[in-house]
């Protein structure tokens, strides 16, 4: 069950994670893409034509109004990925590249 927010296009999913209504796009995912590429809202719209500019601006506004909580969520995700990555054996490709001195 989705919970409404004060933001027209943003709802909280069952896990209380903010998503863009009518999509599976999490607010943090859009923010991370924007941070990674430095795209404006209009450029994000070009990359994600299924999202309206209203949805994008609402997601960005939600992020800036809840930055501390969402940044903590992002950090938690990064720690989880790092933990999983460190528990996996080195891939055969990485081994070959290291063996050839390419990395």
Domains of the chain (ranges plus CATH)? 3-99 (1.10.10.10)
pLDDT at residue 5, rounded to an integer: 80
Distance between CA atoms of residues 94 and 16, nearest Å:
38
Question: pLDDT digit string (tens) for 45-85?
Answer: 999 999 999 999 999 999 999 999 999 999 999 999 999 99
Distance between CA atoms of residues 20 and 63, nearest Å:
12
Neighbours of 101 (CB within 10 A): 6
pLDDT at residue 3, rounded to an integer: 78
Reported pTM: 0.78
Question: pLDDT digit string (tens) for 1-23?
Answer: 777 788 999 999 999 999 999 99
User: Residue 49 phi/psi, 5° resolution?
Assistant: -65, -15
pLDDT at residue 2, rounded to an integer: 78
């Amino acid at each position: 069950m989705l919970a409404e927010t004060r933001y027209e296009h943003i709802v909280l999913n069952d896990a209380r994670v903010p998503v863009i209504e009518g999509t599976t796009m999490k607010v943090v995912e859009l923010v991370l893409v924007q941070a990674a590429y430095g795209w404006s809202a209009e450029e994000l719209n070009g990359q994600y034509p299924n999202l309206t500019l209203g949805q994008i601006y609402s997601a960005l506004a939600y992020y800036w109004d809840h930055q501390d909580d969402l940044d903590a969520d992002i950090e938690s995700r990064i720690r989880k990925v790092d933990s999983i990555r460190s528990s996996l054996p080195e891939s055969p490709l990485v081994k070959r590249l290291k063996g050839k001195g390419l990395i």
